[in-house]
Structure 1
Amino acid sequence: MNDFIELLSFSFFKNALLAAILTSTVAGIVGTYIVARRNVFISGGITHASFGGMGIAYFFGLSPLLGAALFAIASALGIEWSSKKAGLREDSAIAIIWSLGMAIGIIFVFLTPGYTPNLMGFLFGDILTVKITDLILLAVLAVIIVVLTIIYYQPILFTAFDSEYAQTVGYKSTLIRYIISIVIAISIVLSIKIMGIILVLSLFTIPPSAANLFSKSFKSIIWYSVIISLTGSIAGLLFAYLFDLPSGATIIFTLTGIYVLLRILKTIIRN
């Protein structure tokens, strides 16, 4: 306990804790929508496609986070448009944009003169290097997502489970899907600094999947997802510090452990 209190005296650890709280809120809400929509790989497609934006940004000497954000938003909108207007299956659209974004990123990183060591941080993440600017962006995003979810809960719920039915009852489900796609893209990009491109998919899918074991209510799953994500993030952060391990990997390992334990608990309760 004394060690934990001592850790709180370090600004980098306090920043990491705040990042864990904010990211858990964002991932819990956004991840619930992704899982309810039954297309968890849309987050993976957007995440890996954003690598193309990073590569281009590095090549032109711009902010890799800005490049990733622009590419992620374009990819999210591209997936929605191609699956609805171009007649392409959504999983096929995700696969094409996923591989294209990675290919573009690799090409531009290869063409960039010199060595780009900071890129590794985006691939694997490091919550301990979060800056005040990152926290401000995460806080603004978290507030926007919470407010939008409260105000437009019913349209979001209908669109998540059946967008065609949502359209018939008067909701502009197409517009809602495009807006949510942009929110997903921005959420993923801001979470990359925490988890990295390789692991961020798990952050948006494991907590809602674990919450779904004990609840079928969309609202309850959101609450449980945030709690599970927060528990796993803080525990993983502590494990990373105590055993000198990569924070992103320990957080995902902890979240996976929580899922397995909850799955076992549900099996025991059923029997």
Structure 2
Amino acid sequence: MYFQDLFHYTFFQNALWGSLFASIACGLIGTYIVTRRLVFISGGITHASFGGLGVGLFFGLNPIFSAMIFSVLSAFGIQWLSRRQGVREDSAIGVFWSFGMAVGIILTFLTPGYAPNLSEFLFGNILTITRLDIFSLVILSIILIVFFITHYHQIVSVSFDAEFARTRRIATQLIEYAMMLFISVTIVLSIRLVGIVLLMSLITVPQMTANLFTSNYSKIIYLSVGISFVGCVVGLFLSYFLNIPSGAFIIFVLMLMFFVAKGLKAIRFTRR
């Protein structure tokens, strides 16, 4: 009965819907990130978004919107520095990672009035998701699904071998910049779930778990969406009853699922 009562609360309904659509967006984007080996880039964009949060708080803007703009510019800046200016990719990531964090810290402490509470941005709180956040995730998920359906073969080609895709006259640069845009937007809209500190795990661990069972690109997407949603829901329930921060517990559940799957696969392999 207590479980049923939870579903009557609006904040809990919002958390479930947010988990679903965030899982769809992260499942699609995370598969590209893991396959393309862009985990470090996603981490750089995630932490660079803190600069946008600081800009929003200092100038009285919507912090999510300012973080999104800052993240997109950072993502394009990483691409531009590494591809056009001869800067090593890891160095370009480090530049924007540290610059974003520095700007965010400086502007946050310079914000007039009481010091803003950044815990929900840094560590996440899925129970604070609003209707606007859900609507934004729905729109993002629809756009991502349409883009992946219409450009599926190009995305797969670029994911596995961009140089070969370029020889096949695929617009690799367009795909790369479009995906960097989607990565940035997905990261920012998912911040409320697990926070900046742990977000990188949400877009990589489900894909790693799915990859234990299949190497098929589309199947990894489907599995990672399911794994991510199950992890979010289980983590949400357990964190609520144990009174533990939801963001950390969601990642803990996802990591636990990965190690259990890894162990089951190892046992199955040894029995052969």
TM-score, structure 2 normalization: 0.97
Give the drift of 1:43.
1.1
Matched to 1:202, the amino acid is S
Which structure 2 residues correspond to residues 71-220 of structure 1 after superposition, within 5 A?
Answer: 71-220=70-219
Map of 2:12 onto structure 1 = 13
Give the drift of 1:240.
0.8
Unaligned regions of 5+ residues in structure 1, if any? Answer: none
RMSD: 0.9
Matched to 1:270, the amino acid is F
Give the drift of 1:3.
2.0
Matched to 2:115, the amino acid is T
- SS of residue in 2 equivalent to 1:197: helix
Give the drift of 1:112.
1.2
Q: Distance in 2 between matches of 1:268 and 1:244?
A: 35
Q: How many residues align?
A: 270
Which structure 2 residues correspond to residues 47-66 of structure 1 after superposition, within 5 A?
Answer: 47-66=46-65
Q: Distance in 2 between matches of 1:7 and 1:270?
A: 41
Q: Distance in 2 between matches of 1:129 and 1:111?
A: 25
Q: Distance in 2 between matches of 1:115 and 1:199?
A: 26
Map of 2:223 onto structure 1 = 224
Unaligned regions of 5+ residues in structure 2, if any? Answer: none
- SS of residue in 2 equivalent to 1:196: helix
Q: Distance in 1 between matches of 2:168 and 2:54?
A: 43
Give the drift of 1:36.
0.1
Q: Distance in 1 between matches of 2:228 and 2:147?
A: 20
Q: Distance in 2 between matches of 1:24 and 1:108?
A: 31
Give the drift of 1:154.
0.3
Map of 1:26 onto structure 2 = 25
1:37-68 Cα shifts (integer Å, max 9, x gaps)? 01211111001001111111111111111110
Contact 2:211–2:220 (8 Å) recurs in 1: yes
Give the drift of 1:7.
0.7
Contact 2:108–2:116 (8 Å) recurs in 1: no
- How much identity, in percent, do the aligned residues show? 48
Q: Distance in 2 between matches of 1:241 and 1:101?
A: 32
Give the drift of 1:201.
0.6
Matched to 1:220, the amino acid is K
Map of 1:251 onto structure 2 = 250
Give the drift of 1:225.
0.5
Which one is further off, 249-258 or 159-168?
A: 159-168
Q: Distance in 2 between matches of 1:180 and 1:231?
A: 25
Give the drift of 1:116.
3.3
Runs of 4+ in 1 over 6 A off after TM superposition: none
Q: Does 1:41 align with 2:45?
A: no
Give the drift of 1:142.
0.5
Q: Distance in 2 between matches of 1:224 and 1:6?
A: 30
